[in-house]
């Protein structure tokens, strides 16, 4: 990856580590009739950011800081290109330049006499996306551990005189959370599907996500209408992702 400098030359940037942060900007609410609906602020308000760490000789780190400070002084955005890491998410198009703002500027750490590191939170302003917007076919690659459970919508109330009574709305929420081993291409398509589907419900069959009774034995098997609660992933190996998918059953 490289940074376009104030004089229009380029500075090569070597990323030590990064963590992408994807927020599809909708939230789920429960109605008085115990239905679950999504409130969506729209794709234009989605937030993609990345916490990036650079580490190297102190002169190299100071050059990065100096150039970014000068860009800020001149009212210019950071222009990055020639990416070798998918720092904003696997479903982003990295074939051209991406303009960024510095959302947060960390401290300059000096672990040794001549070595320094700096942490930046980058907020892109002009992303385009790739992917097929279809669920990958390999969601049977479920790790050995997964969770299917119900949020029990009942509780015990205690009166002032220590009499207890049971309150039950009979509206449990059924949730599935599974970890998958996916390739970058599979993860790209999954993230693209999430971006397109957002908070809308879609239908799956029990077993489509690699296991039966995926919402626990009480929820039953067969077809489920579900909404994506969240998708997040970690990188392991050059081409693989450990991806966590969290679904809520709405019908």
**Cα separation, 186 vs 129, whole angstroms:** 14
Domains within the chain, CATH numbers bracketed:
2-124 (2.40.30), 142-249 (no CATH)
Instruction: Give the rounded percent of residues in the chain with a pLDDT score beyond 90.
Output: 56
**Cα separation, 222 vs 235, whole angstroms:** 33
**Cα separation, 207 vs 202, whole angstroms:** 15
In the structure, what pLDDT confidence band is assigned to residue 155 with cuts at 50, 70 and 90? very low
User: Which residue spans within 44-172 are E strands per DSSP?
Assistant: 47-57, 78-81, 98-105, 115-124, 142-151, 154-158, 164-168
pLDDT in tens, 181-205: 899 999 999 999 999 999 999 999 8
pLDDT in tens, 162-183: 666 544 444 457 888 888 989 9
In this prediction, residue 206 carries a pLDDT of 81
Nearest Cα neighbor of 2 from 63, 46, 73 is 63
Q: In terms of DSSP bridges, do strands 240-249 and 223-236 run parallel, antiparallel, or are they unpaired? A: antiparallel
Q: In terms of DSSP bridges, do strands 36-40 and 47-57 run parallel, antiparallel, or are they unpaired? A: unpaired
Least confident residue range of 67-76, 100-109, 117-126: 100-109
The single-letter DSSP state of residue 106 is: -
């Amino acid at each position: 990856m490289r940074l376009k400098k104030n004089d229009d030359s380029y500075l090569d940037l070597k990323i030590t580590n990064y963590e992408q942060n994807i927020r599809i900007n909708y939230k789920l609410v429960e109605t008085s009739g115990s239905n679950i609906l999504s409130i969506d602020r729209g794709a234009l308000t989605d937030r993609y950011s990345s916490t990036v760490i650079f580490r190297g000789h102190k002169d190299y780190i100071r050059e990065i800081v100096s150039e970014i400070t000068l860009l800020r002084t001149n009212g210019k955005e950071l222009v990055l290109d020639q990416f070798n890491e998918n720092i904003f998410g696997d479903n982003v198009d990295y074939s051209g330049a991406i303009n960024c703002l510095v959302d947060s500027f960390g401290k300059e750490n000096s672990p040794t006499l001549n070595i320094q590191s700096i942490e930046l939170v980058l907020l892109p302003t002009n992303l385009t996306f790739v992917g097929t917007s279809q669920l990958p076919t390999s969601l049977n690659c479920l790790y050995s551990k997964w969770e299917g459970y119900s949020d029990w919508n009942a509780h015990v109330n205690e009166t002032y005189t220590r009499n207890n009574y049971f309150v039950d709305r009979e509206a449990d929420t059924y949730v599935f959370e599974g970890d998958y081993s996916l390739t970058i291409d599979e993860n790209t398509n999954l993230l693209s599907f999430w971006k397109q589907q957002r908070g809308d419900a879609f239908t799956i069959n029990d077993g489509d996500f690699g296991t039966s009774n995926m919402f626990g034995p009480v929820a039953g098997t067969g077809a489920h209408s579900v909404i994506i609660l969240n998708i997040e992933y970690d990188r392991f190996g050059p081409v693989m992702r450990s991806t966590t998918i969290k679904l809520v059953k709405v019908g």
